[in-house]
């Protein structure tokens, strides 16, 4: 008998189940709205032209130093990515109070931060939003956090931000604790606080002495402007917070399988940084030894070349505009069909995804009746609907759709499927993951 016989099967993560169902489906015109990547009109993952160009240059450049990277990663990448997040004129940078580590991804940055906070600052409790991006829970549990607690965020019944409840929960937080705050295009609601509300949130975080772990996975895609989408991070800097911010660069460079992130740390004093770096390096060594060079070089090349940088920002804006157009069209189509309920939330949300706010029962019906697959949390990828897959629309079971995947050709089909679902399955008990 194998020693592995004692290992039990786990419920596979919902996203994997949906993906498997999609791949197993033999319908010719199936489409996938669950995948989190920006897709083109043919439904293929879209590559940014300047990424393609930078990759070619870097791959064939014999002069470029391709020696082993240090544990904290490529210095030029760390500098460029950190400036992108904090801004060139950031006081934290000018005063030497900010540094970063190149990490494998946004998720990995959270894991490294969580590991550090548990090991060196003895944090055992983390507050994450309800609903939350699924990874947070796994990440903090893996780093041995004992209490994964939730603060109110999105009210699925009203399909809006419940700011009073959020502030109340943070005020009542059990301390000491870490709080995870996604800085824009919140997952999975796609609903963000206003700047005035962020100021209130920051006040409570300060009053309660919660340690902020900021998460920035969509810089530029939420508003079309990289500086605007970093506003929350910069506000925390200007208000004297010490924090980690995990910066995911997969979405805004349209990487699909290349993995890259930057874990930024802002401190009150520069003299603590040498010690922090040494301990982070030890944590990274234990987790994966050291990061990879290629994709970090690609990002650095683009961020440091003024022309490519401008083109990159234009591309992000185009991604944003495509999703905004789909948002407006989807809302209009639902309203034109007389779909019961209010659909304003679709255009109030931001980024590449929309959360249409269906119940679990409605999402299952969509999947079974209309071959529309969405995550239980309601997110759909608006970029993934295209001319080749008019009839069968797969959305993540959480209900979040990828906005970049929806286009005029199958938008009507999607709207009709949602309309029929709302009429056929009453929303008795709205819920969200
Ligand atoms: C909601 C959400 N946030 C963030 C990310 C990016 O994180 P990472 O860099 O770990 O892929 C993803 C990636 O799929 C995502 O779906």
Question: In terms of C-beta density within 10 A (0-12 exposed, 13-18 middle, 19 or more buried), how is residue 321 classed?
Answer: exposed
The pLDDT assigned to 261 comes to: 98
CA distances from 304 to 39, 77, 231 (A): 26, 9, 21
106 lines ligand 1 (CB under 6 A): yes
Q: Does the fold of domain 67-292 match that of domain 12-47+315-424?
A: no
CA-261 nearest atom, ligand 1: 9
For residues 230 and 220, the answer to whether their CB atoms sit within 8 Å is no
Q: What is the pLDDT of residue 426?
A: 79
Judge whether 14 and 375 are in contact, CB under 8 Å: yes
CA dist., res. 95 & res. 291, Å (int)? 27
Query: Angle formed by the axes of helices 408-424 and 360-370, to 10°?
Result: 120
State if residue 250 touches ligand 1 by the CB under 6 angstroms criterion: yes
**Nearest protein CA to atom 1 of ligand 1, as residue:** 187
Does the CB atom of residue 217 touch ligand 1 within 6 A? yes
User: Which pLDDT value is given to residue 66?
Assistant: 74
For residue 108, give the ligand 1 atom closest to its CA.
Answer: 10
Query: Considering the domain 12-47+315-424 in this protein, what is its CATH number?
Result: 3.90.1150.10
Pair 406, 385: CB distance under 8 Å: yes
| Helices (runs of H) and strands (runs of E) counted in the chain | 15, 14
Taking the CA of residue 107 as reference, the ligand 1 atom at the shortest distance is 10
Ligand 1, atom 16, lies closest to the CA of 36
Q: Which two tokens stand for residue 249?
A: 């660069």
- Per the CB < 8 A criterion, the answer to whether 18 and 34 are in contact is yes
Tell me, what's the pLDDT at 389?
A: 37
Residues 239, 206 contacting (CB under 8 angstroms): yes
Res 396: pLDDT: 42
Domain ranges of the chain: 12-47+315-424, 67-292
Domain 67-292 sits in CATH at 3.40.640.10
Say whether the peptide bond before residue 368 is cis (omega within 30 degrees of 0).
no
pLDDT at 387: 37
DSSP of 41-92: TTSSBP--HHHHHHHHHHHH-SSS--SPPPTT--HHHHHHHHHHHH-TT-HH
- Tokens linked to 342: 């209010």
Cα of 1 from ligand 1 centre, angstroms: 39
Pocket flag, ligand 1, residue 252 (CB < 6 Å): no
Tens of each residue's pLDDT in the chain, 433 residues: 999 999 988 776 676 777 778 778 776 656 667 778 888 766 678 889 999 999 999 988 877 767 789 999 999 999 999 999 999 999 999 999 999 999 999 999 999 999 999 999 999 999 999 999 989 999 999 999 999 999 999 987 888 999 999 999 999 999 999 999 999 999 999 999 999 999 999 999 999 999 999 999 999 999 999 999 999 999 999 999 999 999 999 999 999 889 999 999 999 999 999 999 999 999 999 999 999 999 999 999 999 999 999 999 999 999 998 888 888 888 998 999 999 999 999 999 999 999 988 888 888 788 778 777 777 777 888 877 553 433 334 444 445 666 666 655 667 778 888 899 899 987 764 444 4
Nearest CA to ligand 1 atom 7: 106
d(CA 391, CA 45): 20
Q: Rounded to the nearest whole angstrom, what is the distance from the C-alpha of residue 402 to the centroid of ligand 1? A: 12
Beta strands at 154-155 and 243-248: parallel, antiparallel or unpaired:
unpaired
Task: Give pLDDT, residue 68.
Answer: 87
How many C-beta atoms lie closer than 10 Å to residue 171's C-beta? 12
Polymer length of the chain: 433
Q: How far apart are CA 425 and CA 91, in angstroms?
A: 54
> pTM to 2 decimals?
0.91
**R_g of the chain, CA atoms, integer Å:** 22
Q: Would strands 261-266 and 98-103 be described as parallel, antiparallel, or unpaired?
A: antiparallel
Instruction: State how far the Cα of 84 lies from the Cα of 220, in Å rounded to an integer.
Output: 10
């Amino acid at each position: 008998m194998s020693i592995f016989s004692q290992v039990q099967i786990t419920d596979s993560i919902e996203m994997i189940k949906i993906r498997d169902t999609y791949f197993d489906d033999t319908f010719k015109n199936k489409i996938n709205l669950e995948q989190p990547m920006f897709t083109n009109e043919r439904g293929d993952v879209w590559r940014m032209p300047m990424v393609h160009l930078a990759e070619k240059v870097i791959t064939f450049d014999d002069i470029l130093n391709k020696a082993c990277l240090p544990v904290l990663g490529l210095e030029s990448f760390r500098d460029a990515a950190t400036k992108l997040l904090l801004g060139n004129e950031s006081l934290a940078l000018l005063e030497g109070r900010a540094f970063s580590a190149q990490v494998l991804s946004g998720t990995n940055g959270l894991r490294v931060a969580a590991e550090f906070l548990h090991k060196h600052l003895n944090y055992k409790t983390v507050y994450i939003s309800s609903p939350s991006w699924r990874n947070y829970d796994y990440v903090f549990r893996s780093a041995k956090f004992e209490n994964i607690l939730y603060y109110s965020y999105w009210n699925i019944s009203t399909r809006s931000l419940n700011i009073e409840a959020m502030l109340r929960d943070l005020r009542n937080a059990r301390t000491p604790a870490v709080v995870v705050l996604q800085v824009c295009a919140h997952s999975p609601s796609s609903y963000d606080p206003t700047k005035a509300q962020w100021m209130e949130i920051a006040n409570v975080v300060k009053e309660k002495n919660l340690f902020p772990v900021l998460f920035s996975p969509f810089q530029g895609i939420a508003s079309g402007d990289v500086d605007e989408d970093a506003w929350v991070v910069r506000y925390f800097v200007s208000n004297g917070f010490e924090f980690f911010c995990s910066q995911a660069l997969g979405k805004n460079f349209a990487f699909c399988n290349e993995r890259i992130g930057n874990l930024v740390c802002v401190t009150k004093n520069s003299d603590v940084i040498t010690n922090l770096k040494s301990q982070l390096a030890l944590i990274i060594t234990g987790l994966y030894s050291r990061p990879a060079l290629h994709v970090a070089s690609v990002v650095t090349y683009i961020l440091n070349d003024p022309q490519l940088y401008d083109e990159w920002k234009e591309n992000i804006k185009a991604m944003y505009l495509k999703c905004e157009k789909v948002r407006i069209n989807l809302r209009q189509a639902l309203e034109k069909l007389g779909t019961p309920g209010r659909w304003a939330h679709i255009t109030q949300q931001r980024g590449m995804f929309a959360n249409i706010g269906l119940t679990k029962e409605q999402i299952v019906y969509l999947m079974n009746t209309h071959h529309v697959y969405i995550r239980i949390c309601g997110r759909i990828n608006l970029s993934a609907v295209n001319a080749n897959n008019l009839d069968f629309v797969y959305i993540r079971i959480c209900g979040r759709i990828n906005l970049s995947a929806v286009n005029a050709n199958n938008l009507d089909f999607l709207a009709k499927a949602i309309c029929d679902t709302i009429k056929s399955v009453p929303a008795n008990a709205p819920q969200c993951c």
